[in-house]
A and B are shown apart, each in its own frame.
Chain A
């Protein structure tokens, strides 16, 4: 069976255990399924019976066909016996054929012996045929078996490779290796990989006590086999093969003894080695991919840090410059300033200081979120209270605006972190207030949808361009160009971080008659 490498031919893995073809039996159908060399002496009577039958039939037809032709029939019987029942039956049949033929059909009749020397050749011929045919049969049978086994091995390797090529995640690669190896060798498989504090394994299906760990570690450090059926740590119940690639030993593959005292047959050992090589390559690939991803993250972080520094130096200095300038004017030019100018300068200083405070707060929040320093305290909370608290925090800014709150009266207490969720709502409302005209209404709504609490904040502002609906949650991303009402570019990404810390989701949508709707959903059931 030819299977082109890498085609999308879909083969159930189970097929690998089915002998795929029976080429020799197809050529010699009479070999039949019972053609077992190891049937031994038990099949001898069958051969004898055939010869006896031939002798009875022969006594009738001998006058018609003649003695020498009858000898050919005996040869045929021996060949059939050899093919059907193997070497021992064939030799017994050959000897008894020779004796019976001699006894019944070779003059002097009814005696064992002959006068004509040509019958000796017939008898020896019978014996020779029996031996040659049985040897040939056996060879053919062994080759058939070997071919079948090779094919099964090829198929097993093929299906392993196919699974490995499809996976890039290390865990799933390890799963595939363990699954395929188990199906092929019918033994428990374990993969050890270097991790924190030495070798580690994910497998729980196999003994991983201190002794096994030591044997695996030895195989890993020395790059050679250890454990069961080797010269090192042979009291272990598992045989360990190092997984070696050009990058060195990446792990250890263990195959369990499963109570058997015997090591695998030679061809199975070779198959196991090939398995180990494939596994090593796949693992290396996954490890490299992970490293590449890590480097990518590092680069991204670096980029972010540069952006952060740029943003900080710009956003912090601008208000600071205003504060310093305004206060300096008041101090230095005190005599020159009329009261209203002085007041204006002081108001500027105060507003800019507030802006500075908001920015510092945002930067701190972001740092805390990214540093994993935000501790989520989930408690059953009143959603109405949540919205009320957010509105209360915004104070006078919302008192002058039209804000519609829609919360179903029968809404139960919902598990969430009250403080973090208030902060999210304050940020969203702050955006809605900033980015929509003062007379445009703002809507806040809460609903239960499936097993989620959904809260939305909708405005009638200028909206977010379609292509930016997702990007607005990125750090320092600003949808609108030009004049912006002095944000830090962090508000929505902080919201995203706060919601995701609570295992929720946040997204932006267009409103049909203009404006933006930011929705976040939080799961009602929490995994603890």
Chain B
């Protein structure tokens, strides 16, 4: 095998989950490595140098959030966390700590592959040009120009700053805290959260065909927002 494919490190204590991920990821050309605990994972990451890490939040020993924090001290390797429903606070903590995306167990292989592809694309793509295009939306970051159906859209400075943050991290899930930090800097988080909602709502009114069923700016309830591009939405496979 001359081209072993992208390296994936699966960190999960459940043997059955590791087995299922190993076979389905290997079938799609990934080279799969495994670690049953956070401690072991932190030891092997420098040696394996994975392209993407799949990290279970409910680990024995040090938690998934801790693992994320430790890794983010020295590497930006994309991390996709696996959580169970009802464990929202741990999920948000891990995302705030720098995890790239999450999947709720149980999930289908199609969805997992789509997430891995999207994260890898973001991590490996060359520096974006100044112009971002998805669907009918064009954002020219150098000229501070936003166009929808080739018509210029007037945005307030805050709305533009918010949209720019979403565009730079296109398809990445940004938590409320991350967005507030990027757009409002040191503002009080609770107050700024209110502003965040109002500005998201205004952006949708200006950019979305149907603001009640947004195509671009998607809400992840209780977690944050994501700017979804066409390639991402089409990759979203039916499954669990």
Residues of A within 8 A of B (CB): 353-354, 357, 361, 364, 368, 379-382, 384-385, 387-389, 391-393, 395-396, 405, 407, 413, 418-419, 422
Q: Which of A364, A391, A393, A422 is close to B212, meaning CB atoms less than 8 Å apart?
A: A391
Q: Which of B194, B214, B218 is close to A413, meaning CB atoms less than 8 Å apart?
A: B194
Are B200 and A385 interface neighbours, CB within 8 A? yes
Once bound together, how far apart are the Cα atoms of A484 and B120, in whole Å?
43
Q: Chain A residues with Cβ under 8 A from B198's Cβ? A: 382, 413
Q: Which A residue's beta carbon lies closest to that of B211?
A: A384
Within 8 A of A (CB), among B173-193: 193
Within 8 A of A (CB), among B3-38: none
Are A379 and B193 interface neighbours, CB within 8 A? yes
Once bound together, how far apart are the Cα atoms of A354 and B212, in whole Å?
27
Are A357 and B240 interface neighbours, CB within 8 A? yes
Within 8 A of A (CB), among B214-240: 214, 218-219, 221-222, 238, 240
Q: Chain A residues with Cβ under 8 A from B213's Cβ? A: 388, 391-392, 405
Q: Chain B residues with Cβ under 8 A from A391's Cβ? A: 212-213
Are A419 and B201 interface neighbours, CB within 8 A? no
Are A382 and B222 interface neighbours, CB within 8 A? no
Chain A nearest CB from B172 CB (Å) reads 17
Once bound together, how far apart are the Cα atoms of A381 and B211, in whole Å?
15
B157 within 8 A of A: no
Chain B nearest CB from A350 CB (Å) reads 8
Chain A nearest CB from B175 CB (Å) reads 14
Chain B: how many interface residues by the 8 Å CB criterion?
Answer: 22
Knowing that A385-B200, A388-B212 touch, tell me 4 more A-B residue pairs with CB under 8 angstroms. Answer: A353-B106, A381-B197, A382-B198, A389-B219
Q: Chain B residues with Cβ under 8 A from A419's Cβ? A: 88, 221-222
B86 within 8 A of A: yes
B85 within 8 A of A: yes
Q: Which of A379, A392, A396 is close to B218, meaning CB atoms less than 8 Å apart?
A: A392
Are A385 and B85 interface neighbours, CB within 8 A? no
Q: Chain B residues with Cβ under 8 A from A388's Cβ? A: 211-214, 219
Q: Chain A residues with Cβ under 8 A from B194's Cβ? A: 379-380, 413
Are B219 and A385 interface neighbours, CB within 8 A? yes
What are the nearest 9 A-B pairs in CB distance?
A419-B222, A405-B212, A389-B219, A382-B201, A422-B221, A419-B221, A389-B221, A388-B212, A384-B212
Q: List 9 A-B contacts (CB under 8 A).
A: A379-B197, A381-B197, A384-B204, A384-B211, A388-B212, A388-B213, A388-B214, A392-B219, A405-B210
Q: Which of A354, A380, A405 is close to B197, meaning CB atoms less than 8 Å apart?
A: A380
Q: Chain A residues with Cβ under 8 A from B214's Cβ? A: 388
Q: Chain A residues with Cβ under 8 A from B204's Cβ? A: 384-385
Chain A nearest CB from B64 CB (Å) reads 20
Q: Which B residue's beta carbon lies closest to that of A403?
A: B213
Chain B nearest CB from A397 CB (Å) reads 10
Are B200 and A382 interface neighbours, CB within 8 A? yes
Are B212 and A361 interface neighbours, CB within 8 A? no
Are B197 and A396 interface neighbours, CB within 8 A? no
Q: Which A residue's beta carbon lies closest to that of B86?
A: A364
Q: Which of A353, A364, A385 is close to B201, meaning CB atoms less than 8 Å apart?
A: A385
Q: Which of B106, B218, B221, B240 is close to A418, meaning CB atoms less than 8 Å apart?
A: B221
Chain B nearest CB from A528 CB (Å) reads 14
Are A413 and B211 interface neighbours, CB within 8 A? no
Q: Which B residue's beta carbon lies closest to that of A364?
A: B86
Q: Is the interface of B mostly helix, strand, loop or mixed?
A: loop
Are A396 and B238 interface neighbours, CB within 8 A? yes
Are B85 and A361 interface neighbours, CB within 8 A? yes
Residue among B88, B221, B240 with most chain A CB within 10 A: B221
Residue among A380, A384, A391 with most chain B CB within 10 A: A384
Chain A nearest CB from B227 CB (Å) reads 14
Once bound together, how far apart are the Cα atoms of A37 and B150, in whole Å?
108
Are B221 and A357 interface neighbours, CB within 8 A? no
Q: Which B residue's beta carbon lies closest to that of A417?
A: B222
Q: Which A residue's beta carbon lies closest to that of B190?
A: A379
Q: Chain A residues with Cβ under 8 A from B86's Cβ? A: 364, 368
Chain B nearest CB from A425 CB (Å) reads 10
Are B106 and A357 interface neighbours, CB within 8 A? yes
Once bound together, how far apart are the Cα atoms of A419 and B104, in whole Å?
15
Chain A nearest CB from B204 CB (Å) reads 8
Once bound together, how far apart are the Cα atoms of A388 and B194, in whole Å?
18
Are B240 and A354 interface neighbours, CB within 8 A? yes
Chain A nearest CB from B232 CB (Å) reads 13
Once bound together, how far apart are the Cα atoms of A389 and B200, in whole Å?
13
Within 8 A of A (CB), among B93-123: 106
Q: Which B residue's beta carbon lies closest to that of A413?
A: B197
Q: Which B residue's beta carbon lies closest to that of A391?
A: B213
Q: With A361-B85, A391-B213 in contact, is A385–B197 under 8 Å at CB?
A: yes
Q: Chain A residues with Cβ under 8 A from B222's Cβ? A: 418-419
Once bound together, how far apart are the Cα atoms of A245 and B185, in whole Å?
68
Once bound together, how far apart are the Cα atoms of A202 and B198, in whole Å?
46
Residue among A353, A361, A389 with most chain B CB within 10 A: A389
Once bound together, how far apart are the Cα atoms of A409 and B211, in whole Å?
10
Q: Chain A residues with Cβ under 8 A from B193's Cβ? A: 379
Q: Chain A residues with Cβ under 8 A from B219's Cβ? A: 385, 388-389, 392
Chain A nearest CB from B8 CB (Å) reads 23
Chain A nearest CB from B26 CB (Å) reads 19
Chain B nearest CB from A490 CB (Å) reads 15
Q: Chain B residues with Cβ under 8 A from A384's Cβ? A: 201, 204, 211-212
Once bound together, how far apart are the Cα atoms of A407 and B204, in whole Å?
14
Chain A nearest CB from B185 CB (Å) reads 21
Q: Which A residue's beta carbon lies closest to that of B210?
A: A405
Chain B nearest CB from A228 CB (Å) reads 53
Chain A nearest CB from B15 CB (Å) reads 18
Q: Chain B residues with Cβ under 8 A from A385's Cβ? A: 197, 200-201, 204, 219
Chain A nearest CB from B115 CB (Å) reads 15
Chain B nearest CB from A403 CB (Å) reads 8
Q: Chain B residues with Cβ under 8 A from A393's Cβ? A: 221
Once bound together, how far apart are the Cα atoms of A389 and B74, in whole Å?
35
Once bound together, how far apart are the Cα atoms of A354 and B31, in whole Å?
29
Q: Which B residue's beta carbon lies closest to that of A356?
A: B106
Q: Chain B residues with Cβ under 8 A from A396's Cβ? A: 238
Once bound together, how far apart are the Cα atoms of A405 and B219, in whole Å?
17
Q: Which A residue's beta carbon lies closest to that of B108?
A: A350
Q: Chain B residues with Cβ under 8 A from A405's Cβ? A: 210, 212-213
Q: Which B residue's beta carbon lies closest to that of A406?
A: B212
Q: Chain B residues with Cβ under 8 A from A382's Cβ? A: 197-198, 200-201
Once bound together, how far apart are the Cα atoms of A388 and B86, in whole Å?
21
Chain A nearest CB from B45 CB (Å) reads 32
Q: Chain B residues with Cβ under 8 A from A407's Cβ? A: 212
